Structure 1
Amino acid sequence: MSNFGDLQSLASSITAVTSPFRNYLTDLYQKYRKLNDGAVADYIPELALAKPEWFGICVVTKDGQVFEVGDCDKLFTIQSISKAFVFGLALEDHGREYVNSKVSVEPTGEAFNSIVLDEATNRPYNPMVNAGAIATADLIEGENGTERLKRLLEMFKRYTGREHDINVPVFLSEKATGFRNRAMAYLMRNFGMISDKIDETLDLYFQQCSILVNAKDLAMLAATLGNGGVNPVTGERAIDERYVQDVISVMLTCGMYDASGEWCYRVGMPAKSGVGGGITAVVPGKLGIGTFSPLLDAKGNSVRGIKVCEDLSQDFGLHLFNAAKSERDLQQWITGGAGINDW
């Protein structure tokens, strides 16, 4: 005999299939799947193998309903999206003040791979640019590189509810071509921003960027943050609740490379993108969005992913600073039930 949890899961699955919101996402997918602006990243040779037509959209609500359209099971490397979540683990390992003594939280307006530090403090500007992410990775505790990587993979499992692998060819490709990242690491070591475990930390950073995910994983990552750090499907806590605010704050201000201001203005969701083609976006207290399309704009953000998030934000009033009531009540679209104030 099924228990209540099984029945609730079954009901959510039926809702996800029959909901008008799924039809909305299907229309959104059809609207943008032939948009061919942008180009696949090729500065890391393995990334150039991605097919431009790949495209997936996934939304996960705070009560665990999953809506998928397109190539949501297609695996790709997480790349810079990992930075937000590794930042969260560093906060759990060391606390807010110590982490902030090594990595600032200011937007840069510079490209993500710029070799630049704050002139006053010698800190990298924020955890979402490469220099800051390397400094953050350096803070992850463990006896050796293997243990530190294991902790990262265990963390991502708590967020997504499944185990993740490393794409070894991508890792080796990044390691072989990561000269700018090595320059950043040695510059930060000169100022005492990272430890002397430079090679170990760089390997960890290259490996975290090479973790394989799909659009559903990205939606689950965001939904977990939006649910106060608890995975909405498994019920497992992925991050201490007190640090969720830190992570999504920096995602909002710095998560979309040097287009973060434009994103905050037009979309208004804490988000993080990666040059693998993914975007993860958080609607606090409501849902998470994951998109995948490897065609990138000049700033390194997924062209189709941006369009999808813009439409969702505008059509359902999901901008974080939207003071007016949405013309379309998303909760009613999903379930036909309660209003958005009842979420």
Structure 2
Amino acid sequence: MKELLETVVENCRDSWRQGHVATYIPELAKARADATGIAVWDLSSGLSGAGDTDFTFTMQSVSKVVSLALALSECGEEKVFSAVGMDPLADPFNSIMRLEMDAPHRPHNPLINSGAIVVLSLLPWKESRDRMAAVSDMAARMTGRKAVAVNEAVYLSEKGTSDRNRALAWFLKSVGNLEGDIEDILDAYFRQCSLEVTCGDLAVLGATLAADGTNPVTGERVVSPRVARVVRTIMATCGMYDGSGEFAVTVGIPAKSGVGGGIAAAVPGRMGIGTCGPALDRKGNSVAGLAMLRRLSEELKLRIY
């Protein structure tokens, strides 16, 4: 596996030149654009990696998988999916227009910004620090880490520049689809997005979902098989922003991307995959990550469709 991953990285390393790092969060603009790494946790043989596997980055929207798994476990499917939908969206992940146009003004799915904000508001902890402690604990359990820390510089940068997310939250509040203190919920959201990981961490997270909720590193049953299957399904249909359909055709596995450059993927019963590459395409997905996942899917015949 390691030899294959080294070949994949070598063949895909220059693809970063086709993208650009995120600049709308100033701290993300400082990322090393050419960083390229991949890790695989094979459920039968363990961890392998190649490239910049020690490169750290913030989870950003990959963290929405964590909060969704937590909300489903704590609140149940009925409550979660009465507040957010299950459908993919052809608009950008931070779109206000579609939310405003489509009654009953419910976020289309839990993996876009508006949906993730609503999901956080559903959690039974009412203060930001308690919500965040629960999300951070779930992230640690899913990645097999003792703790997953917030990158404070990214958190502060995101908090200071997220007018669009505030607009989404206040619109949801105005139509009765968001309860609680807006700034408190958003503070937890900004902290959640700023959790710092490596591609190896994302590989274990993906493997936990691939193993129906059991972490292959710790052996802990983190979420139920049902929750793991629901999360994988939402990842498959909605996980790559408005590029989810194309990704399903070209790669064919459940995955979730983030503008920090990470992608976490889960191949049911086989493996979890984590990639990093801060240079993004116009839809917000890692250019290098997409290239590596396409290549690996072809080589190992990973498609689930």
Measured against the shorter chain, the TM-score band is over 0.9
- Conserved 8 A contact 1:160-1:220: yes
Match in the other structure for 1:91: 72
- Say which SS state the counterpart of residue 301 (structure 1) adopts: coil
How many Å apart are 1:239 and its aligned residue?
A: 1.4
1:22 to 2:7 alignment: no
Supply the AA of the counterpart residue of 1:128: L
Q: Give the counterpart of 1:104 among 72, 75, 85.
A: 85
Q: Give the counterpart of 1:123 among 106, 110, 113.
A: 106
User: How far apart, in 1, do the equivalents of 2:216 and 2:179 lie?
Assistant: 36
1:247 to 2:231 alignment: yes
- Say which SS state the counterpart of residue 177 (structure 1) adopts: coil
1:34 to 2:34 alignment: no
1:69 to 2:53 alignment: no
User: How far apart, in 2, do the equivalents of 1:152 and 1:42 lie?
Assistant: 26
Moved over 6 A (4+): none
- Unpaired segments ≥5 residues, structure 1: 1-20, 322-343
Q: How does 1:126-145 map to 2 (within 5 A)?
A: 126-145=109-128
Supply the AA of the counterpart residue of 1:208: Q
- Conserved 8 A contact 2:257-2:264: yes
- Unpaired segments ≥5 residues, structure 2: none
The aligned length equals 301
Q: 1:143 to 1:201 in 2, by over 3 A?
A: closer
1:202 to 2:186 alignment: yes
How many Å apart are 1:119 and its aligned residue?
A: 2.0
User: How far apart, in 2, do the equivalents of 1:164 and 1:142 lie?
Assistant: 19
How many Å apart are 1:240 and its aligned residue?
A: 2.1
Max radius of gyration: which structure? 1
Match in the other structure for 1:156: 139
- Conserved 8 A contact 1:252-1:269: yes
How many Å apart are 1:63 and its aligned residue?
A: 3.7
How many Å apart are 1:173 and its aligned residue?
A: 1.0
TM-score, length-scaled by structure 2: 0.96
How many Å apart are 1:120 and its aligned residue?
A: 3.0
How many Å apart are 1:256 and its aligned residue?
A: 0.3
- Conserved 8 A contact 1:63-1:233: no
- Conserved 8 A contact 2:211-2:269: yes
1:45 to 2:29 alignment: no
User: How far apart, in 2, do the equivalents of 1:196 and 1:113 lie?
Assistant: 21
- Conserved 8 A contact 2:260-2:278: yes
- Conserved 8 A contact 2:40-2:47: yes
Match in the other structure for 1:271: 255
- Conserved 8 A contact 2:208-2:272: yes
User: How far apart, in 1, do the equivalents of 2:44 and 2:216 lie?
Assistant: 6
1:225 to 2:209 alignment: yes
- Conserved 8 A contact 2:120-2:131: no
How many Å apart are 1:128 and its aligned residue?
A: 0.9
User: How far apart, in 2, do the equivalents of 1:296 and 1:55 lie?
Assistant: 12
For each residue in 1:71-109, what CA deviation from the matched residue of structure 2 results, as whole angstroms up to 9, or x when unmatched?
Answer: 112111000001122111111111111111110011110
Match in the other structure for 2:177: 193
- Conserved 8 A contact 1:64-1:233: no
- Conserved 8 A contact 1:158-1:237: no
Q: Percent identity?
A: 45
User: How far apart, in 2, do the equivalents of 1:41 and 1:143 lie?
Assistant: 31
User: How far apart, in 2, do the equivalents of 1:276 and 1:96 lie?
Assistant: 29
- Conserved 8 A contact 2:8-2:296: no
User: How far apart, in 2, do the equivalents of 1:165 and 1:227 lie?
Assistant: 25
User: How far apart, in 2, do the equivalents of 1:285 and 1:28 lie?
Assistant: 22
User: How far apart, in 1, do the equivalents of 2:88 and 2:127 lie?
Assistant: 32
